[in-house]
Structure 1
Amino acid sequence: MKKIPDKDILLFKSCLVSVEYPGVESSTAFLFDKLGVGYHRDQRQSCCTGLGHYYDLFDQLSTTALAARNFWVARDSGNPNIAVMCATCYAILKKSAEILNENNEAREKINGLLEEGGLGKMVYHKGDIDPHKNIFHAAEILYNQREIFEESSQLDFSQFNIATHHACHYCKVHYEDTIGGVRHPMLIDEIVNSCGVDTVGWYDQKRLTCGAGFRQRFTNNELSLKVTAEKLLSLKENQTDIMLHMCPNCQMQFDRYQPVIEKKLDVKFNIFHLNISQFLALNMGADPYKVVGVQTHTVPLKPLLKKLGIESVESSVESEKMKMDH
């Protein structure tokens, strides 16, 4: 198994996390702080270009050039180990590092562009970032610290059927680095199991993509949602209550479009969607609104909080008001 660092980590910001589910980042930071993971966030970091790249708006050279700049930011900050919260960032950065290390022509061209732009200090030298030793998904770092979660668990999830969705850009791009296998991915399941919580494990369509397909969500929406619906129906057959994710794009596809598909098929799924970091942070006592960011979700999480015995914001405010009145 690959060695996973616990320090000198650049927590790579994700555009989809920041815009759609900022609670994923705050939950990850909350967990890293609790676990004693040494990490840094850098405002100089740019987007990985993933969305634009898979829309064919950014060619591979442009994407790799931006990665070279981000790799310099990581090294310059003293944090050469990069932890991402998005599976697309993971795939993009690892591929870019491979190109920069193995393709001399591409590396020289990118370095030339950097120098022409007055960014000579950012030139990339072969081996500056090892795609296998320096680039990780945040879930892998959590997995490496999983023995701590059982003693830190504060909530009872035994009443829920929990399923996991392992993002295709984590499982299906860099096979050799995938923890927990690619045919029956278990990375998230094993993290959850470490909390003393069971998952449904294998279910029909576990390996099926979320259906987003980047441009497909918009240019071929009917087919995109058909794939998503197929997976949701499989989850319903397993009486799934909670689905855990490791990629904001997957989480968007299910959380934002589940109500749309329910209306289209005239069926109720009643499935809550959380990133694995949100799940763990909630289970370790993080504030559901200020840290986990449940208010940003389309499928309301208030019923889940109620079942877990967590007071809602409205209840907390009313309780404080009553105290003040007395």
Structure 2
Amino acid sequence: MKKIPDKDILLFKSCLVSVEYPGVESSTAFLFDKLGVGYHRDQRQSCCTGLGHYYDLFDQLSTTALAARNFWVARDSGNPNIAVMCATCYAILKKSAEILNENNEAREKINGLLEEGGLGKMVYHKGDIDPHKNIFHAAEILYNKKDLLKDSPHLDFSQFNIATHHACHYCKVHYEDTIGGVRHPMLLDELAASCGAETVGWYDQKRLTCGAGFRQRFTNNDLSLQVTAEKLLSLKENQTDIMLHMCPNCQMQYDRYQPVIEKKQNVKFNIFHLNIAQFLALNIGADPYRVLGIQTHTVPVEPLLKKLGIEPVKTPVENGKIKMDH
């Protein structure tokens, strides 16, 4: 298995995490703190352009140029290992690093643009970032610490059927770097097991895409939701209670649109959606509101908390908002 770092890590902020599920970031930071992972967040970091790139708004050159800038931020901060919370960021950054290392023409053009813009200090040199040794998904960092998770007190999830959704941009793009397999991905399953929570493992449609398809969610909404519904129906057949995610776009597709599909198809799924970091953080005692940020979810998580014996008492609000930790 590839070597996974536990220090000198830039926790790469995600647009969708920040806007849709900020609790994913605070849960990740909570876990990193508990597990002794050395990480840094940098306000100079910018978007990876993933959404814009896959909407055909940013071409590959622009995306790679912005990656070169973000790679400089990582190196300049002394944290050359990058941990992402979004599978799209994962795929975008890895591909950009490969281009910068292997395509001399693209690298020279991007460096020229940086110099013209007065950003010569950000010039990228071949090998500055190794896509295999410096870019990771946050779930991989947690996987490297799963033995410590085993030793932590945890909740009893034995009454629930738990399924996992491994994001396409994690397990279907850079096969050689995927942990836990690509045909039957088990990374999230093994992480859940580290806290004593067994999953259903394989189920029909486990490898099926979430259906978001970036712009397809909007330009071909019926087709997009048809794919999402197909997987939700498969999960319902398995009497799934909880679905674990590793990408905010996937989580958004299921959590935001599950009620829409229920109404369209006159069916109830009763499935709770949590990012793997939220799940693990909850399992070892994180506050559901201040850390997990469950108040941002569309499918209410409070019924799950009650079944776990956790009284869902909201933290006092400040200016109409719950102040989140981390």
TM-score computed with the length of structure 1 as normaliser: 0.96
Asked whether 1:9 is paired with 2:9, we answer yes
Shift of 1:154: 2.5
Q: Deviations over 1:131-187 (max 9, x none)?
A: 000000000010110011122132111110000000000001100000011000000
User: Which amino acid is the alignment partner of residue 7 of structure 1?
Assistant: K
Measure the CA separation in 2 of the matches of 1:283 and 1:164.
16
| CA RMSD after TM alignment | 1.1
Q: Which residue of 1 aligns with 2:134?
A: 134
Q: Which residue of 2 aligns with 1:267?
A: 267
Measure the CA separation in 2 of the matches of 1:238 and 1:185.
18
Asked whether 1:207 is paired with 2:221, we answer no
- What SS does the aligned partner of 1:88 have? helix
- What SS does the aligned partner of 1:133 have? coil
Shift of 1:85: 0.1
Asked whether 1:195 is paired with 2:210, we answer no
Q: Which residue of 2 aligns with 1:257?
A: 257
For structure 1, list consecutive stretches of 5 or more residues without a partner in the other structure.
318-326
Q: Deviations over 1:21-72 (max 9, x none)?
A: 0000000000000000000000000000000000000000000000000000
Q: Deviations over 1:194-236 (max 9, x none)?
A: 1111100000000000000000000000000000000000000
- What SS does the aligned partner of 1:273 have? strand
Measure the CA separation in 2 of the matches of 1:218 and 1:153.
43
Shift of 1:315: 9.9
Measure the CA separation in 2 of the matches of 1:314 and 1:277.
20
Q: Structure 1 vs Structure 2: percent identity of aligned residues?
A: 90
Q: Which residue of 2 aligns with 1:122?
A: 122
Asked whether 1:161 is paired with 2:161, we answer yes
Asked whether 1:82 is paired with 2:59, we answer no
Measure the CA separation in 2 of the matches of 1:258 and 1:153.
32
Measure the CA separation in 1 of the matches of 2:51 and 2:308.
36
Task: Using the TM superposition, name which of 264-273 and 192-201 deviates more.
Answer: 192-201
Runs of 4 or more above 3 Å deviation:
314-317
Measure the CA separation in 2 of the matches of 1:38 and 1:315.
29
Change (3 A) 1:140 1:315: closer
User: Which amino acid is the alignment partner of residue 145 of structure 2?
Assistant: Q
Q: Which residue of 2 aligns with 1:146?
A: 146
Measure the CA separation in 1 of the matches of 2:316 and 2:73.
42
**Length, aligned pairs only:** 317
Q: Which residue of 1 aligns with 2:294?
A: 294
Asked whether 1:99 is paired with 2:99, we answer yes
Measure the CA separation in 1 of the matches of 2:74 and 2:314.
41
Task: Using the TM superposition, name which of 7-16 and 149-158 deviates more.
Answer: 149-158
Change (3 A) 1:78 1:267: same
- What SS does the aligned partner of 1:313 have? coil
User: Which amino acid is the alignment partner of residue 39 of structure 1?
Assistant: Y
Q: Which residue of 2 aligns with 1:28?
A: 28
Q: Which residue of 2 aligns with 1:37?
A: 37
- What SS does the aligned partner of 1:309 have? coil
Shift of 1:14: 0.1
Measure the CA separation in 1 of the matches of 2:314 and 2:289.
11
User: Which amino acid is the alignment partner of residue 181 of structure 1?
Assistant: G
Shift of 1:316: 9.2
- What SS does the aligned partner of 2:274 have? strand
Contact 2:27/2:292 (8 A) holds in 1: yes
User: Which amino acid is the alignment partner of residue 5 of structure 2?
Assistant: P
Shift of 1:311: 1.3
Change (3 A) 1:202 1:75: same
For structure 2, list consecutive stretches of 5 or more residues without a partner in the other structure.
318-326
- What SS does the aligned partner of 2:151 have? helix
User: Which amino acid is the alignment partner of residue 111 of structure 2?
Assistant: N
Asked whether 1:216 is paired with 2:216, we answer yes
Contact 2:154/2:195 (8 A) holds in 1: no
Asked whether 1:310 is paired with 2:295, we answer no
Change (3 A) 1:195 1:103: same
Change (3 A) 1:308 1:44: same
Q: Which residue of 2 aligns with 1:324?
A: none
User: Which amino acid is the alignment partner of residue 83 of structure 1?
Assistant: A
Measure the CA separation in 2 of the matches of 1:153 and 1:189.
19
- What SS does the aligned partner of 2:113 have? helix
Measure the CA separation in 1 of the matches of 2:12 and 2:313.
30
Q: Which residue of 1 aligns with 2:46?
A: 46
- What SS does the aligned partner of 2:197 have? coil
- What SS does the aligned partner of 2:47 have? coil
Contact 2:7/2:37 (8 A) holds in 1: yes
Q: Which residue of 2 aligns with 1:176?
A: 176
Measure the CA separation in 2 of the matches of 1:315 and 1:143.
30
Q: Which residue of 2 aligns with 1:323?
A: none
